[in-house]
Amino acid sequence: MNVRAVARVGLVVATLLAVLWLAPVLWMFATAVKPTPHIFALPPVWIPSVVVGDHLSAVLIKWPFTRWVWNSVVVATCATVLSTVVSVPAAFAFSRLQWRGRDAVFLVFLSSMLIPLEVNVIPLYFLMNRLHLLNTYPGVFLPIVGMPVGVFLLRQFFLNIPQELDDAARVDGAGSWRILLSVILPLSGPALAALAIYMFVFSWNEFFWSMIALSSPRMFTLPIGLRALQGAYDIDYGVLMAGASLATVPAVLVFLLLQRHIIRGVTLTAFR
Amino acid sequence: MRWRVRAGAPADAPARAPSRGLRSILRAGELALFLAPFAGFWLLFRLGPVLYGVAISLYRWDPLGDVEFVGASNYLRLAADPRFWNALRNTLIFAALAIPGILALGLGLALLVFAYRHRPAVRWIEAAFFFPYLLTVSVVGLVWRWLLDPDFGAVLLALRSLGFRPPVFLNEPAWALPAIAFATAWWLAGYRMVIFRAALEDIPEEIFDAAKVDGATGWRLVRSVLLPLLKPAALFALVLTGISGFIVFGQVLIMTAGGPGRASEVLALYLYRFGFEYLEMGQAAAVGVVIFTLILLLTLLSFRWLGYGGAG
């Protein structure tokens, strides 16, 4: 067999594998729209022959599902915006300003990347309880803002911007804030986008801390709401898959729109 | 005030400056303004809680409000609790299955996508592999619980119709953790794939040409050329995946809730139950400290093994 034939067979295999990879997601959507008897039919109904909206409407009517979506949007947006706003000047100080001990201080920040939010849930619970922030949006997103990821990512990017640009601006009399705002930031679009995507996905998916911080159903974010659905329906897979599908549709839409940016953003956050 | 222009210049400002003391105070003030917003959040919500957590773990917190200093007693109670050791064991088993699974799958998919990088269709293949990463952990857990349902799970039915006799994964103690690790690998491998593929693309074309001249193709090319070059990328991947392995929680809670029995109860679930079901906050905080220590150890070990930053 020649090389080209091998390559073609390989591409077919890769395509089949890709379809198989998405099969769980397709099965989720299929289950969400099947009538209950078809969900539990033996042999299984692989392709839905009848499509019903019962499960979808059960989720949307009996549960504050749209409110959960809104809560998730608020939490993820606040976490993303706030962490970008505080990370930019810090990353600037660690990359464009010269000061004694800079790299040592940065290393301390960097090593705190090893502290996942999860190991801190008990102290955070005590802290948020004292601040009366349990069951509030800030209670969920403030701990995410303390993540050093943004400082690390932006510093890396800022370091690659030629120093001559700063020098020229300083000769023209610009101060540090002016340089940050009118020299560095306009060149940092890709890094800011990458950070925003990373933070948004992270906070959209955050589970452990949110589950502890949020106890009132109207404050749940999507992942916590889906967990509550599971508690209520146990093995009513039509409703569970309807909830999971509804939670996934935004991800599908955003991914179709921004696929290239998202994948490039991930490579920028790769900490290589 | 002015910042010194250019890296590498002497630390002190030119002697002609009117007042060095005043200027360095102003400079320190400006620096503080740049750092303070982030540092504030970081101290309050990241570093502070670590220390606070250690402090909490030294006390006994009565649900009625009584607080009593008990020293290392919470840690001793952990050490004496077989359920804790079971959770630790399960966490290590999960990590030992999921971390290599995620990295190997991610690397395999990256090589596959990289091999066909000149084909337009590969963009969609890559997108398919990456997509599960965008699902939230509850969706991943629910979907795989349904796929592996003992009576109506599609995976089991498909395997049976092909003539296999699969175990009822989630209801069998020996299979619950491997099944959760598999679902986790499906969820996260696409993210690693994108990172590895980017690292592969950074390799200069000349290296491939040279390898071709030397007759290195296929597996030999991968093993003796590509893998060594991917080492730095692999290190960070190992550390970050490792951390996610030690704090696994959501998918376990949803797929098995730690069962059957306690066959898949991991440390984070143990922490959650002691803290928020049994209200043993001190002991739960001690578990947090233990997980943190494990992560530190893993990091030091992987830096050592992969020889990053040192002589290797």
Domain boundaries, chain A: 64-268
Which stretch of A197-206, A218-227, B96-105, B205-214 has the lowest confidence by average pLDDT? B205-214
Cβ within 8 Å, pair B295-A259: no
Find residue B69's DSSP bridge partners: B59
A99 vs B contacts (CB less than 8 Å): 27, 31
Is the predicted pLDDT of residue A7 greater than 90, yes or no? no
In this structure, which topology does domain B76-305 adopt according to CATH?
MetI-like fold (1.10.3720)
A27 vs B contacts (CB less than 8 Å): 143, 146-147, 154
The band of B224, judged by pLDDT with boundaries at 50, 70 and 90, is: confident
A11 vs B contacts (CB less than 8 Å): 116, 119, 121
B124: contact with A, CB 8 A cutoff: yes
Residue B260 is predicted with a pLDDT of 92
Residue A59 is predicted with a pLDDT of 92
Residue B59 three-state SS? strand
- Average pLDDT over chain A reads 89
Find residue A91's DSSP bridge partners: none
Residue A45 is predicted with a pLDDT of 82
What is the interface pTM, i.e. ipTM, of the complex? 0.91
What torsion do the CA atoms of A85, B132, A238, A227 make, to the nearest 10 degrees? Answer: -40
B288 vs A contacts (CB less than 8 Å): 118-123
Chain B nearest C-alpha distance from A87 (Å): 6
The answer to whether B266 and B248 have CB atoms below 8 angstroms apart is yes
* pLDDT (mean) for A51-72: 93
Residue B312 is predicted with a pLDDT of 31
Q: Higher-confidence residue: B6 or A191? A: A191
The band of B298, judged by pLDDT with boundaries at 50, 70 and 90, is: confident
Give one word for A51, left, alpha or beta, with left for phi > 0 and alpha for psi -120 to 50: beta
Name B194's Cβ contacts closer than 8 Å, sequence gap at least 6.
A263, A266, A267, A270, B110, B126, B130
Chain B nearest C-alpha distance from A85 (Å): 9
CA angle (B236, B237, B239) in 5-degree steps: 65
- Convert the pLDDT of each residue in A233-259 to its tens digit: 877 899 999 999 999 998 889 888 888
Residue A271 is predicted with a pLDDT of 54
Is the predicted pLDDT of residue A81 greater than 80, yes or no? yes
Distance, CA of B148 to CA of B171 (rounded, Å)? 9
- Convert the pLDDT of each residue in A256-271 to its tens digit: 888 888 887 777 766 5
Q: Which of residues 78-97 of B touch A (CB under 8 A)?
A: none
The CA-atom distances, in angstroms, between B206 and each of B126, B202, B212, B233, B265 are 25, 11, 10, 20, 50
Distance, CA of B289 to CA of B196 (rounded, Å)? 32
- Structure-token match 């005590």, residue found: A126
Is the predicted pLDDT of residue A4 greater than 80, yes or no? no
The answer to whether B78 and B86 have CB atoms below 8 angstroms apart is no
For domain A64-268, give its CATH number from 3.90.25.10, 1.10.3720.10, 3.40.50.2000, 2.60.40.10.
1.10.3720.10
Q: Where are the domains of chain B?
A: 1-56, 76-305
A214: contact with B, CB 8 A cutoff: no
Chain B nearest C-alpha distance from A54 (Å): 19
